[in-house]
Amino acid sequence: MALCPDKHENPASFARCRTCGLPLIDLKQEFSLIAERLGRTANLARPKASRVLAGVGSFGVNLVQLHQASLVRSAPGRGLSVLYVDAGATMGNGAAPGTFRLQLGGAASGSATFCGVAEEAAMGDPSLVPLLKNAGLRESDEEQTVFVATALGGGTGSGVTPVLLQNALALNPANRAFVLGMLPSADELFHARLNASYGLSRLVSDGDRGPVAEAIVTVQYDRLKRVRGVGKGGEELKSESVLATTFDMLSTAFSFPNSVKVARLNRAAHTQVLTPCVALGRSMEIFGSLGNVLESAVAFPLAAVSNGEVLSCYLMLRVPQGLAKEFPDDIVGEELGGLIRRHLPAARYSLYVTTYWDDASDRVDACLLLGGEAWRVLHSIPDRLQQFNAESAKVKDWSVFGLSRERVSTMVRTLQEYDARLEEMRRF
């Protein structure tokens, strides 16, 4: 049965009411039109985000949640959006204002083990682009910056992150993206190293369209678990908190306009893959000078790097407000220059960003980002690279990983070309 505006009942096949002659109402169609109009209105009403923090995969989701719980003093508000994207994972119910969640493939799909499988799931998910729009990514706006935390050894992180950032660029071609990526440990299986290689290759180059991410800050878990820091309250920071603090510094220091400066330098130097060296919570009473703090940082790279081959060096420095006068630009620049002369003889590009926070202590945080080779980061031990190549040669069916032999060949060529460009830069 169908109703007219005066609520007379009529057979569903009728176009007009047999009692009063008024046109009948197609409720399903009317509700659909209302929903469409509301959707357009809601999209226009959402404010654009200047910073988007995205946790991709279970590792990335957990890291961003730790970051939000321990380092952000208020709920995300205007100018900041937080995304959680995973494959078949439960990420909790409810959300703070400015927080958006996407479960790729539905709850029954399970976490993606292989990069190619996760990539296909992301490319085929109709909810991914609306998620980014809801987060405020739209229109050309160079003030927008996307920061992603993920595990590149996982299938979700390596497969979904490039697709996420490709869609972000399609919505806003002027946005800049930075990725903090965990690499597989030395004893992880072949597919984890394959995931990381594939994900990194997709981030450093999207064919003729260039890089998807302006910088990929890579961390090796073997090295991270040996590093400690000191928090604002004097408590020891273990590996997870060290990484969350590094992500916090990255997303603060490299927001606009510094995002544009770093992007230009990285493209000039061809150094998108960066290795962090951290010194967190260093007491100035104990260390005495910024130079000593930076020496402490460069001694603890979180991924493999050859100091003599580094072409770019960026310093993220965080200082308590009470010590701001002790860190003028000329002193910071002089100390960074001295460190480069002592340890990084090939470095041609440098940048420092100093941020301040409300803290009464004398503790400063320093993070150096060093630009080096992609393959060196992934396979720091020559025997491990040989092992990876030997295992790759044994693979008969790449579709198990959601890949093809052609895509794997493109992956290898992309990373080799990346390293070759760096070697060419060093010669000149």
The pLDDT value given to residue 101: 85
Lookup result for tokens 């047999």: 18
Residue 85 CA: distances (Å) to CA of 35, 56, 78, 89, 132: 25, 5, 21, 9, 11
- Helices and strands (DSSP H and E) totals, the chain: 15, 14
71 confidence band (pLDDT: 50, 70, 90): low
The pLDDT value given to residue 86: 86
Q: Per mean pLDDT, which range of 15-24, 155-164, 232-241, 321-330 is the poorest?
A: 15-24
110 confidence band (pLDDT: 50, 70, 90): very low
Q: Does 46-213+393-428 carry CATH code 3.40.640.10?
A: no
The pLDDT value given to residue 144: 93
Chain segment 50-68, per-residue pLDDT in tens? 899 999 999 999 999 999 8
Token duo for residue 286: 């104990």
Express as a percent the part of the chain with pLDDT over 70.
87
Cα separation of 352 and 13, whole Å?
72
- The more confident residue out of 278 and 428 is 278
Spell out a b/e string for 237-273, using b for 16 or more CB atoms within 10 Å of the CB, else e.
bebebbbbbbbbbbbbbbbbebbbebbebbeebbbbb
The pLDDT value given to residue 35: 52
213 confidence band (pLDDT: 50, 70, 90): very high
108 confidence band (pLDDT: 50, 70, 90): very low
The pLDDT value given to residue 111: 54
One-letter identity of residue 25: I
What number is the average pLDDT over the span 128-139? Answer: 87
107 confidence band (pLDDT: 50, 70, 90): very low
Q: Domain extents for the chain? A: 2-35, 46-213+393-428
What number is the average pLDDT over the span 354-374? Answer: 90
Hey, how many other C-beta atoms are within 10 angstroms of the C-beta on 228? 15
- The more confident residue out of 46 and 235 is 235
Hey, how many other C-beta atoms are within 10 angstroms of the C-beta on 32? 11
- Asked whether the predicted pLDDT for residue 88 surpasses 90, the reply is no
Q: Per mean pLDDT, which range of 184-193, 205-214, 378-387 is the poorest?
A: 378-387
Q: Per mean pLDDT, which range of 21-30, 196-205, 267-276 is the poorest?
A: 21-30
- The more confident residue out of 81 and 25 is 81
- Phi, psi values for residue 380, rounded to 5°: -70, -25
What number is the average pLDDT over the span 399-417? Answer: 92
Query: Averaging pLDDT over each range in 10-14, 101-105, 123-127, 365-369, which range is the top one?
Result: 365-369
Express as a percent the part of the chain with pLDDT over 90.
53
3-state secondary structure 215-250: EEEEEEHHHHCCCCEECCCCCEECHHHHHHHHHHHH
Angle, to 10 degrees, between the axis of helix 115-123 and the axis of helix 155-171? Answer: 30
94 confidence band (pLDDT: 50, 70, 90): very low
- Contact between 350 and 336 under an 8 Å Cβ cutoff? The reply is yes
- The more confident residue out of 70 and 371 is 371
What number is the average pLDDT over the span 156-168? Answer: 95
- Asked whether the predicted pLDDT for residue 297 surpasses 80, the reply is yes
